[in-house]
Amino acid sequence: MSDDRTFDRIARSWLETGPTKAPEAAVENALLTIESTPQERDLRVSWRLPTMNNMTRLVAALAIAILAVGAGVVMLRPTGATVGTGPSSAPATSPPSPTVVPSSSAAAAVDLIPEGTYVGPTIRAADIVAYVNADTKLTAKQKTFVIEGMFAIKNSRTWVASLEFRAGKMTQRQDVDGTVNVGSGGAYSFLGTDTLVVKQQDCAACYLVGFTVVRAGDGFTLTPIGAPSDESDAIAQKYLYGSGPFTRVP
Amino acid sequence: MDRDLVERARRGDRDAFAALVHQVSDSLFAVAQRILRDRGLAEDALQNALVTAWRQLPHLREPDRFEAWIHRILVHACYAESRRGRRWAVNVRVLSSHTASSPDGSAALADRDELERAFRRVPLDQRAVFVLHHYLGLPLVEIAETLGIPAGTARSRLHYATRALRSAIEADAAPVVEEGRLA
């Protein structure tokens, strides 16, 4: 081969051979699939459990603040024998010595949920649809939104939620009939020994969402802190985070 | 690309999206077929890319970038199809009957056969850059934007793909090439 231009010419000529027209059947199949496929909602709107009213936000913020203060106290307290004995306690006379950290201290919180991907149970899409349809607090329009927008399970068979914890970021995904949709993501941290705090990303007004974590074998269950602001929020919490236990994927 | 169609499709208009599909599907399929070198896989990649594009269209922030955006989806669909690896065993390579009569006579059958074999050994991410550059004629900067990778990465992928293909041709052709055949 003599030069780059020669190679480019050969490469282009070679690439130009071959089919250039999409098979009608493939296009028609795709369009047929699209007929029954809902579009995703904007993640920044639909996946941030966004419908908290001001009172709920205040309660959640207070709960998180209280937890943060409590965790701070736990993390900053001295580990010696004088902890909790009050300011009038006599100065320690023995020399400082290494102290065994209690298992319930902040050190345990670091590994509250080890990095990895955790999958919830497989749920029949029809069960979620039935649950939503039976909810008397939702309007027909809201039901459609929840089924087609939030969960994208119209005419689907199975639904599975998964949570990935990696490098300080939590990513929530939903698997509908084997196809994964990225739901939402956020920076996460742990407070104390049982609280997960997630700061939602990619949203217009990011805020913290707190969860109580209960370890279960190699996985965990999550309970959102704070009452849902409305019924669709409650359903989102029930399935997106509360569908556990979430089990670690090998 | 009709911006109005993209806007309407973003808002959920299936007819508008179907019109868009008919505008871009040939190009998408051609690119997929050239990256994957397999008609069946390319068909699957095309279908998956179209469905994914429909689902994710509300997230498209710049309607004017629709074509680049959907090509990016297509390339990722190609990666996914390749991983699934179906039908490789029954894939049949067909060399074009027009091969020997290309306008400048430079692309000989032997070159094409070597290119075909060598290209199949090139990693898929390098193939994608190679096809976007040499088939669609996209500059590297645009390829980088389309694929969401740094320009340097696009450049290195093209470099490695080119080097692999050149080596394959040179290794095969050198002993028998007629002087001036490739000039």
**CATH (domain of B39):** 1.10.1740.10
Same domain, B106 and B133: yes
Q: A35 and B14 in contact by Cβ < 8 A?
A: yes
- Which CATH number characterizes residue B110's domain? 1.10.10.10
Q: How far is A9 from chain B (nearest CA, A)?
A: 8
Please check the confidence at residue B101 and state whether its pLDDT lies above 90.
no
Measure CB to CB from residue B58 to each of A17, A42, A152 and give the nearest one.
A42
CB spacing of A39 vs B12 below 8 angstroms: yes
Question: Which of B28, B60, B85 is the last residue in one of the domains?
Answer: B85
- B27 Cα to chain A: minimum distance (Å): 7
Q: Which residue of B has its CA nearest to A37?
A: B55
Band (pLDDT 50/70/90 cuts) for residue B144 is: very high
Q: Which helix (H) or strand (E) holds A99?
A: none
Among A65-69, A144-148, A194-198, B8-12, which stretch is predicted with the lowest mean pLDDT? A65-69
Average pLDDT over residues B130-155: 92
3-state helix, strand, coil in chain B (%, to 5): 75, 0, 25
The answer on B135 and B75 residing in a single domain is no
Provide the pLDDT for residue B176. 41
Q: Which pairing describes strands A208-216 and A219-224: parallel, antiparallel, or unpaired?
A: antiparallel
Indicate the residue of B47, B58, B134 with minimum beta-carbon distance to A8. Answer: B134
B136 and B177 housed in the same domain? yes
Instruction: Specify whether B61 is located in the same domain as B112.
Output: no
Report the gap between the CA of B153 and the closest CA in chain A (Å). Answer: 20
Window 39-98 of B, Cβ < 8 Å to A: 39, 43, 46-47, 50-51, 54-59, 95-96, 98
Is the pLDDT at B162 greater than 70? The verdict is yes
Q: Does B77 lie in the same domain as B5?
A: yes
Give yes or no: residues B51 and B115 share one domain: no
- Establish how many alpha carbons lie within 13 A of residue A108's alpha carbon, considering only the half-sphere containing its beta carbon: 14
CA nearest to A179 within chain B = B52
Are B173 and A19 in contact (CB < 8 Å)?
no
Task: Indicate the SS3 state at residue B180.
Answer: coil
* Mean pLDDT across B129-143: 93
Confirm whether B43 is domain-assigned.
yes
Examine residue B94 and state whether it is found in any structural domain, yes or no: no
- Average pLDDT for residues A56-64, to the nearest whole number? 60
Chain A residues bordering chain B (beta-carbon distance below 8 Å) = 1-2, 6-23, 26-27, 29-31, 33-35, 37-43, 152, 181
Over residues A34-61, mean pLDDT? 58
List all residues of chain B from 90 to 149 with a beta carbon under 8 Å from chain A. 95-96, 98-99, 102, 104, 106-107, 111-112, 115-116, 130-131, 134-135
B27 and B63 belong to one structural domain: yes
Which residue out of B17, B48, B51 would a mutagenesis test of the A interface target, given it has the greatest number of A Cβ atoms within 10 Å? B51
- Is the predicted pLDDT of residue A155 greater than 80, yes or no? yes
Q: Does B181 touch chain A (CB under 8 A)?
A: no
Q: Is 60 exceeded by the pLDDT of residue A48?
A: no
Q: pLDDT-derived band of residue A46, with 50, 70 and 90 as boundaries?
A: very low
CA distance A166 to chain B (A): 21
* Confidence (pLDDT) at A177: 87
The two tokens of residue B7 are 């806007």
Q: Residue A39's pLDDT is what?
A: 87
* CB-side neighbour CA atoms (13 Å) of A15: 26
Radius of gyration of chain B (CA): 18
How many domains would you assign to chain B?
Answer: 2
Say how far apart CA B57 and CA B74 lie, in whole Å.
Answer: 14
**Banded model confidence at residue A91, pLDDT cuts 50, 70, 90:** very low
| Residue A105 vs residue A121, higher pLDDT | A121
Torsion of CA B45, B46, B47, B53, to 10 degrees: 100
In-domain check, residue B163: yes
Q: Compute the half-sphere exposure of residue A200: CA atoms within 13 Å on the CB side of its CA.
A: 19
Cα–Cα distance, B169 to A103 (Å, whole number): 65
* Cβ–Cβ < 8 Å for A113, A170: no
Instruction: Assess whether pLDDT exceeds 70 at residue B181.
Output: no
The answer to the question of residue B92 being in a domain is no
Identify the pLDDT of residue A60: 57
pLDDT band at B131 (very low <50, low <70, confident <90, very high): very high
Q: Which domain holds residue B80?
A: 1-85
pLDDT of residue B108: 56
A34–B54: do the CB atoms touch at under 8 Å? yes
Q: Identity (one letter) of the amino acid at B81? A: E
Q: CA B135, CA B115: separation in Å to the nearest integer? A: 14
Across the range A57-75, mean pLDDT stands at 62
Does residue B15 sit at the A interface (CB-CB below 8 Å)?
no
The rounded mean pLDDT for chain A is 71
Give the one of A15, A18, A31 whose C-beta lies nearest to B134's C-beta: A15
Chain A residue with minimum CA distance to B56:
A40
Does B166 have pLDDT greater than 70?
Answer: yes
Residue A87 pLDDT greater than 60, yes or no? no
Interface probe with A: pick from B25, B57, B130, most Cβ of A within 10 Å:
B25
Note whether B72 and B107 are same-domain residues: no
Which carries the bigger pLDDT value, residue A192 or residue A132?
A132
Residue B111 has what pLDDT? Answer: 65
| pLDDT for B120 | 86
Asked if residue B71 belongs to a domain, the reply is yes
Same domain assignment for residues B142 and B73:
no
In Å, how far is A230's CA from the nearest CA of chain B? Answer: 25
Residue A210's pLDDT is 78
Residue B143 to residue B137: CA distance in whole angstroms: 10
**What residues of chain A lie within 8 A of the CB of B162, using their CB?**
7, 11
Examine the domain organization and report whether B105 and B74 are in the same domain: no
Same domain, B31 and B76: yes
In terms of C-beta density within 10 A (0-12 exposed, 13-18 middle, 19 or more buried), how is residue A113 classed?
buried
Per-residue confidence band for A63, with pLDDT thresholds at 50, 70 and 90: low
pTM of the predicted model, to two decimals? 0.49
Same domain, B59 and B138: no
Q: What is the DSSP string of B69-102?
A: HHHHHHHHHHHHHHHHTTTGGG------TTGGG-
Give B12 to chain A, closest Cα distance, Å: 7
Q: What is the pLDDT averaged over residues A217-230?
A: 79
pLDDT at A152 over 50: yes
